[in-house]
Amino acid sequence: MITHPAFAVEPWCVPETHLDLEVLAQTESVFALSNGHIGLRANLDEGEPFGIPGTYLNSFYELRPLPYAEAGYGYPESGQTVLNVTNGKIIRLLVDDEPFDVRYGRLLAHERVLDLRDGVLRRRVEWESPAGTTVRVNSTRIVSFVHRSAAAILYEVEPIDSPLRVAIQSELIANEPAPPTSNDPRTAAVLESPLQSEDFSEREARIVLVHSTKRSKLLMAAAMDHVIDGPAGTFVDAECATDVGRVTVAADLGAGERLTIVKFLSYGWSSQRSLPAIRDQVIAAVAKAKHSGWKSLLEGQRAYLDDFWACADVELEGDTELQQAVRFALFHTLQAGARAEQRAIPAKGLTGPGYDGHTFWDTERFVLPVLTYTAPSAAADALRWRHSTLELARERARQLGQNGAAFPWRTIRGHECSGYWPAGTAAFHVSADIADAVVRYQAAVEDDVFELEAGLELLVETARLWRSLGHHDAEGRFRIDGVTGPDEYSAVADNNVFTNLLAQRNLLAAADGVVHHPKAAAELGADLEEAATWRDAANAMVVPWDEALGVHCQAEGFTEHQVWDFANTRPDQYPLLLHFPYFDLYRKQVVKQADLVLALHWRGDAFTAEEKAANFAYYEPLTVRDSSLSASTQAVVAAEVGHLELAYDYFGEAALMDLHDLEHNTRDGVHIASLAGAWLAAVAGFGGLRDHDGFLSFAPRLPTRLERLAFGLRFRDRLLKVEATKTEATYTLEDGEPLELSHHGKRVTVSTERSVTRRIPPAKPGRPAPSPPPGREPMFRGRERAEGS
Ligand code: BGC
């Protein structure tokens, strides 16, 4: 684990007080800025040194071969890989005769601050060149939430001791050299210099570069323009070629003088529009940003974030580090989805090349529940994106011999890109996760337009998938055999409880949709008769139970498998998938990430309290958390079954995943699902939020370390605030019609006139907290270990 000592703890920002090149790539991800449309890794302004250079446009990808040692029917033939596109972040500085480079001369000061309220990355540097000249550089970077295709950088240079001659080169660079993102030489070859020049032009301090991709046939344009303010005699020149655009500014700076450049950037891309259309779009967008001006970009960003935080902020009293981490987590969750606008939300957002830039079930299972309650239009957009890929999902289902729609396990544009079918194709639960996100969104927002335009069809087509994938056995029970659940250390198992219970909800919601919207359903070819078959399947769904152990089986037969030999597994043998063959993982009781426990959270309505406690106790010692998606769910369920201190440790792990680089791969991008999971751990864990059947219930209970927890939710045109201390909880409605909710099982009605305060009932004595596998305990965060909870 790398704990970066340079991240100071502040409630509303993430400051780095000195530059440590050892963790440069991690900080590039942590400080990345994005609005879901454009993503800029926090590469240093001067471009070098870098860990991984990165500028990403949502859904701008190249196709690459997916080579198989042994081919098989239905294997995807090519994959999609996010591209590092034209870099507009570069601003090089020449101080007298020396290029500014942090590796040379002396760095007198170097601070970076990610400001979570202003939504900018600030950098302050004082540098002494090898020749002894000192200079101060301040830069501020923004990727606008308001102007979707715009970013900007304010760059200021001033002398510290003696006058300076400086030159600044503000650049656009395509096909910049970068470390290969694939070990496979065939893939690496395709991804080397992936952009072909189509057009370039310059006019005064504005430059436009247009490029295309060879295989995916996408077109993109990048534009930059500048506002330059320097002393009399400041010189400006612009030039461009196929892969580089450069605006050079030279000035002599006397004491007290400063050279200030505002660099405006815009990006546009398309699979359909023409070169002139894309080029003109970026020229217009950069003009719009320039016309708004730097100040107004900043004000717009602040206003956007004020609005977000007014609802989304989670306040924690008693743990400042976690307070910072939760806000950081929410900021990245927003950045990933805010303006994705009918494009995917990738597992790493737009912060790095990890997982090839793919979107997984992470989005619907972990990210959308958060956005549904904090930025609902972003949740709707993400689901509309899924809807826009329905035809591909239908094709995939047909190819697999199924009806309805089978959504891809991993993708950028909607095509299946997983080459390992047992953990990819067979993980059909992704379709149920999408349906579940639709159900929750509709319940929370009551968005009729969405329901008719996208929601109903998503439910109907996924219900058809389950109906064809499963079958009624001789006793009439509905079985879904041969699927992979969330635990990827089991594969192709029968009747995975999580999958079956989510499919059950999917089938029932689709049937209800047909009843409520018979006309719209008829257009989809669905009628009451078909809906009745869905209800039959749902009502007869198999949910395996082990009578002898008194617990649910993650999938049939699971509890009969041999338990993994945890005692003889060394700490350096995790993650297990890198040290043991899959066949052995598959046939033993060892859980990569919450699976049955995930069902306890999202289908909590299908279990009794005693079953939840017994199941959690059984699965906890088997769960190794080899995926960052696990800790938040374990936090939520541990809190529900009364292990508050263990829950708190898991909460810390989910929230600090990237600030502490817990999986050692933050360099490739931040873990959006884990970060979104930090909200889930706080709100669903210690706040006890559940939203089964569209009814909000809460059961707040705080761990030792927290004195107070407060959070907000948007729900059906209302803004609800919840505040809990150790002894009582207060529900306040900031706007909207009165709302009935439940507090620890008792119904209360809250209105804008009247907040409601209720005592938190004392916890019932329960079982002692179970232990995770030896050596896999979460990081300790104040748990009284002796207390056994
Ligand atoms: C997890 C998957 C997840 C993927 C992307 C894997 O390690 O096991 O469930 O979708 O990472 O985050």
Structure tokens at 471: 């079958």
- Average pLDDT value for residue range 405-427: 96
Ligand 1 atom having least distance to the Cα of 486: 9
Is 489 touching ligand 1 by the criterion CB < 6 Å?
no
Helix (H, G, I), strand (E, B) or coil at 413: coil
Separation of CA 718 and ligand 1 centre (Å): 34
Cα angle 677, 682, 683; round to 5: 95
In ligand 1, the atom with minimum distance to the C-alpha of 347 is 12
Q: Model confidence over 654-701: pLDDT tens digits?
A: 999 999 999 999 999 999 999 999 999 999 999 999 999 999 999 999
Select from 378, 391, 485 the least CA-distant residue to 432: 485
Q: What is the pLDDT of residues 472-501, one digit of tens each?
A: 999 999 999 999 999 999 999 999 999 999
Does pLDDT of 27 surpass 60? yes
**What separation in Å is there between the alpha carbon of 664 and the centre of ligand 1?**
15
Rounded distance, CA 54 to CA 45, Å?
Answer: 12
Ligand 1 centroid – CA 61 distance (Å): 20
Tokens at 757, concatenated = 């305060």
Q: pTM for this structure?
A: 0.97
For residue 500, give the nearest of 469, 461, 476 by alpha carbon. 469
Q: Is any atom of ligand 1 closer than 6 Å to the C-beta of 488?
A: yes
> Can you tell me the distance from the alpha carbon of 260 to that of 133, in angstroms, rounded to the nearest whole number?
19
Contact 298, 264 (CB under 8 A): no
Structure confidence by residue, pLDDT tens digits, 322-340: 999 999 999 999 999 999 9
Residue 629 Cα to ligand 1 middle (Å): 7
Mutate to test the pocket of ligand 1, among 627, 630, 672 (most ligand atoms within 8 A of CB): 627
- The single residue listed with the structure tokens 């600090």 is 656
Cα atoms found within 13 Å of the Cα of residue 781, Cβ hemisphere only: 25
Is the pLDDT reported for residue 789 higher than 50? no
**Average per-residue pLDDT for the chain:** 96
The protein residue with its alpha carbon nearest to ligand 1, atom 1, reads 627
- Residue 317 has phi, psi (to 5 degrees) of -110, 125
Cα(300) to ligand 1 centroid in Å equals: 35
Do 431 and 403 contact (CB within 8 A), yes or no? no
What local confidence, expressed as pLDDT, does residue 1 receive? 42
Residue 787: the pLDDT is: 46
**Does 728 qualify as catalytic in the annotation?**
no
pLDDT digits (tens, 9 = 90+) for 119-149: 999 999 999 999 999 999 999 999 999 999 9
Predicted confidence at residue 594, as pLDDT, reads: 98
Q: Going by DSSP bridges, is the β-strand pair 259-270/219-229 parallel, antiparallel, or unpaired?
A: antiparallel
Ligand 1 touching residue 675 (CB < 6 A): no
Q: What is the pLDDT of residues 690-739, one digit of tens each?
A: 999 999 999 999 999 999 999 999 999 999 999 999 999 999 999 999 99
The pLDDT-based confidence of 192 (bands split at 50, 70, 90) is confident
Q: Is 366 in the pocket of ligand 1 (CB under 6 A)?
A: no
Question: Mean pLDDT across the stretch 275-291?
Answer: 98
Q: Given this model, what pLDDT does residue 180 score?
A: 76
* Cβ of residue 294 lying under 6 Å from some atom of ligand 1: no
Q: List pLDDT tens digits, range 589-643.
A: 999 999 999 999 999 999 999 999 999 999 999 999 999 999 999 999 999 999 9
In the predicted structure, residue 785 carries a pLDDT above the cut 80 = no
- pLDDT, tens digit (0-9, with 9 covering 90-100), for 512-548: 999 999 999 999 999 999 999 999 999 999 999 999 9
* Contact predicate 418/410, CB 8 Å: yes
Please write the tens of the pLDDT for every residue from 381-404.
999 999 999 999 999 999 999 999
How much is the pLDDT for 190? 75
What gap in Å lies between CA 616 and CA 676, rounded to an integer? 22
Q: Which of 176, 488, 530, 640 is catalytic?
A: 488
Question: d(Cα 373, Cα 379) in Å, to the nearest integer?
Answer: 9
H helices of 192-274, where? Answer: none
Cα separation values, 9 from 2, 4, 261, 316, 558, Å: 16, 11, 31, 14, 44
Q: What is the pLDDT of residues 210-221, one digit of tens each?
A: 999 999 999 999
Give the torsion through C-alpha atoms of 213, 182, 667, 582, to 10 deg: 130
The answer, yes or no, to whether any atom of ligand 1 lies below 6 A from the CB of 362, is yes
pLDDT score recorded for residue 782: 67
Answer whether residue 783 shows pLDDT above 70: no
Q: Is the CB of 633 under 6 A from ligand 1?
A: no
Q: Is the pLDDT of residue 361 over 90?
A: yes
- Place 788 in a pLDDT band, splitting at 50, 70 and 90: very low
